[in-house]
Every structure is written in C-alpha cells, then in structure tokens.
Amino acid sequence: MFYEIRTYRLKNGAIPQYLKVVEDEGIAIQKAHLGNLVGYFYSEIGTINEIVHIWAYASLDDREERRQSLASDPQWQAFLPKIRDLIELAENKIMKPANFSPLGKSAPAA
C-alpha cells in the first residue's frame, strides 16, 4: 500500500471557504476516482492555514491510473477553479508504511 499525502497552504482565512466547497462538491468527485480516502485534515495548532489529505493506493500504477481518471473528469475540471486561487503552496509526498505501522503490510486496504 502507498499513501499520498497532499499538503496545501491556503491564503489567510481561506480554510472555511475551501472546506465548504470541497465538502459540497469536490470530495464526491475525488472519492469516485481516487477511492481510498484515509483522512482529510486542517490545522488547528502549528502551521496555520494548512490542509492535509491522505489517499491510499494499492500501487504506484494504481495511483497513476486513478489520478489520470480524476484529471480527465469534466466535473473535476469545472471544480478546480473554485479552490485553485485559495491555495498558495502545494506539496505532495508518496509514503510507504513500515511493516510495524498500524497501516503496514498486514493492515486491510483503506
């Protein structure tokens, strides 16, 4: 299992607007293509104006196929402008859990 950790730093004060539009429209489109949402978070203490969402994939090829499917969806393309200008910085990591992690090899698929 591979985990994609996407971190966005939003414009000051944009978290409520971002979360509302994602909840109302975006997350359903993402889930339809990406499937395994592990978690969706926003900062409360520490780095402010930060969103982190984590997606699980069976393999890097699985991730590639799912991300391409999302990118080509007309609904997603129409949705992106609603959040694009709220994001100042984006970071993406692909992580693999250690065998002893709760999400390690023996863990069920997310």
Q: In the prediction, which pLDDT does 107 show?
A: 46
At 73 the pLDDT is 97
Q: Provide the pLDDT for residue 81.
A: 96
Q: Tell whether the model's pLDDT for residue 71 goes beyond 90.
A: yes
The answer to whether position 43 is within a domain reads yes
What's the pTM?
0.86
Mean pLDDT, the chain, rounded, equals: 92
107 in any annotated domain: no
**CATH at residue 51:** 3.30.70.100
In a domain, 100, yes or no: no
Query: In this structure, is the dihedral angle defined by the CA atoms of residues 58, 61, 66 and 70, taken in order, positive or negative?
Result: positive
Evaluate whether residue 91 is within a structural domain.
Answer: yes
| Structural domain boundaries enclosing 73 | 2-95
14 assigned to some structural domain: yes
Q: Is 52 a domain residue?
A: yes
Instruction: Establish if 102 belongs to a structural domain.
Output: no
CA distances from 16 to 43, 52, 60, 78, 104 (A): 12, 14, 32, 20, 33
pLDDT classification of 103: cutoffs 50, 70, 90: confident
Residue 104 lies in a domain: no
Number of separate domains in the chain: 1
